[in-house]
Structure formats: C-alpha cells, structure tokens
Amino acid sequence: MQVKEIMKQPYVVEEDMGLGDTASLMSEKGVGCLLFVSKGKVKGIISESDLLRNFGKSKMISQIMSKNIISASPDDNVEDALKVMKENKIKRLPIVDKQKRLVGIVSMTDIAANIEKFDGDFFFN
C-alpha cells in the first residue's frame, strides 16, 4: 500500500503566529499539528507537544517549530514511511511531491486506522 492511499490533507499556516492563536487554531480544527509553509514548501512543523513544552511563554511558532523536516513521497510504501517514523521517533510525516511541495500528511493514527489493509505484521518487526 502506498502512502497516498492513506494520507490526509494537512492544516497549514503561511504566516507566523503566537502560541495562543496556534493552540486555538489546532483546537478548532481538531488537529495535533500544523505545518508552516512558505511558497508551497514545508519550513517547519509544530505539534501539540511543542505547545505544551512552551506553555505560558510569549513566543511565535517560528521560534519553537521543528525545522529539520523529515518527509516521505506519496508513492512510498506505508511500511517504509512507518520505518522512517519509528527510526526518527516522530508521530507525523509530511508528504511532499518531487518538487518538494506539500501534498499531504500521514500520522501513526492514520496507519493504525488502516492496519487491516496491510499484509503481514510489519508493526511488530
């Protein structure tokens, strides 16, 4: 199974914003992360755990977001994407096309929700 079969549309922000506004937006949308995008390319990712670690601080998302973005291609196998996530200890993986433009996101929850569609027991390797 390929990543594009289970990826979802990510929530993005294109302008820097304060942590309070970020938390409100994430809560409103019911998401655990936002991707900071400029000119279609991912510049950073901010998760709910990033917000919790910086609770009460007057900062902007650009100051605390993860900038070393690890991503996958829509054509990658889900098993390979999961391996990348496990090796890097991340729960969410941005999906980018050949031009490095954001096209989706896959989370551990997305993978778990589709477990019945996979062959074998790659979760337990």
- Taking only the tens place, the pLDDT of each residue in 76-99 is 999 999 999 999 999 999 999 999
The total domain count for the chain is 1
* pLDDT (tens digit per residue) in 34-55: 999 988 889 999 999 999 999 8
Query: Bridge-partner residues for 72, per DSSP?
Result: 95
Q: Which of 58, 71, 65 is nearest to 26 (CA)?
A: 65
- Please name the residue that has the structure tokens 């936002």: 34
CATH of the domain at 52: 3.10.580.10
**Distances from the Cα of 27 to the Cα of 4, 32, 49, 92, angstroms:** 26, 8, 13, 17
pTM for this structure? Answer: 0.88
86 alpha-carbon distance from chain centroid: 14
| Domain enclosing residue 109, as ranges | 3-124
